Amino acid sequence: MSRLLLFPVLTWLLASAAAASPPPVAVTEVSPGIFVRQGLFEDATAENDDAIANIGFIVGPQSVAVIDPGGSRGDGERLRAAIAAETDRPIRYVVMTHGHPDHIFGGSAFLPDHPVFVGHQRLAGELVDRGAYYRRRLVEILGTERAGDWVMPSLLVSDRAELDLGGRILDLQAHGAAHTDNDLTIFDRQTGTLWAGDLLFVERVPAIDGSLTGWLEELGRLKALPATRAVPGHGPPIVPWPAGADDEERYFGTLAAEIRALLARGGDIETAVAQIGLGERDKWRLFDDYNGRNVTVAFKELEWE
């Protein structure tokens, strides 16, 4: 049985290896040894290859950790080429900050490196649960060949963990429900850099797929870290910390205050969707695509307070 299982996967791996390597994507070294490829302020399209999230890697004395392998096979392969252009140290870890497709569908591009795939304890369930749905949606946009695949994490973080890149220690923190219910952040001790993943959106409007109050709580924890800079999941490749969280906190605070006031007046969810948060409209990219859903998620949370 296991041989039967192995065969198609091996064929696929060999085929991938035989294909011409794509050119490396441009990355910015935001801190010594920390490289970020900035994502586009768009949703996934056939043209952008789902290269819409900030992804990158951290180079240690002995090995490399990928932080989010990208949104598609091509996105992952181009990041892999960028790593090869930068260092010949092996890719030891592929860390997934959460289970959304724009961050993880490049995962299969790193299988030839045999890294340890790392994620939040709840990421495994998230992938079993929604992974096939995410893949189907991405295939509709990119086609089967270009979509790529996520890889199930084998190192699961329930609270904290350390990754050692050969003397360079990364502190991993698993979070409570916030952006999703499987958010993982990375703190690089050497440079005081927080890789915040999608707990931090800058310029692009945040998307709530977990909990509004939980997200505010987790932001408070992150602000207490001795970090001076942060890599957002969407936005510029690097922002000052904790000041970089100001806009996001203001937006969430506005949603919470306006929804609570509406609830006190007897307003229902339809009214909330039509009215809440509109003062923030000019301050964010893709606002109209996400604000209504954010309000829905926040409303059903806050109506039980």
Contacts with another protein by CB under 8 A lie at 2, 5-6, 8-9, 12, 108, 111, 116-117, 121-122, 124-133, 135-136, 139, 144, 149-152, 154, 177, 181, 210-211, 265-271, 273, 292-293, 295-297, 300, 303-304
- In terms of DSSP bridges, do strands 184-188 and 169-174 run parallel, antiparallel, or are they unpaired? antiparallel
Q: CB of residue 131 vs another protein: minimum separation in angstroms? A: 6
Smallest separation, CB 300 to another protein (Å): 6
CA angle 195, 196, 198 (to 5 degrees): 135
Return the number of the residue (16 or 254) whose C-beta is nearest another protein.
Answer: 16
Residue 180 one-letter amino acid: T
Residue number, 123 or 230, with CB nearest to another protein:
123
**Nearest by Cα to 294 from 258, 266, 265:** 258
CB 269 within 8 A of CB 296: yes
Find, among 292, 209, 216, the residue nearest to 248 by Cα: 216
Measured from the CB of residue 15, what is the shortest distance to another protein in angstroms? Answer: 13
Q: Which amino acid is residue 1, in one-letter code?
A: M
Nearer to another protein, 281 or 293 (CB): 293
Closer Cβ to another protein, 160 or 265, answer by number: 265
Provide the 3-class DSSP secondary structure of residue 60: coil
Q: Omega into 242 within 30° of 0, i.e. cis?
A: yes
Find the shortest distance in angstroms from Cβ 199 to another protein. Answer: 15
Q: How far is the CB of 177 from another protein (least distance, A)?
A: 5
Backbone CA torsion sign across 84, 86, 88, 92: negative
Whole-angstrom CA distances from 102 to 18, 145, 177 are 25, 16, 19
Shorter beta-carbon distance to another protein: residue 55 or 147? 147
As measured in angstroms, the least distance from the Cβ of 77 to another protein is 17
Q: Which is closer to another protein, CB of 14 or CB of 243?
A: 14
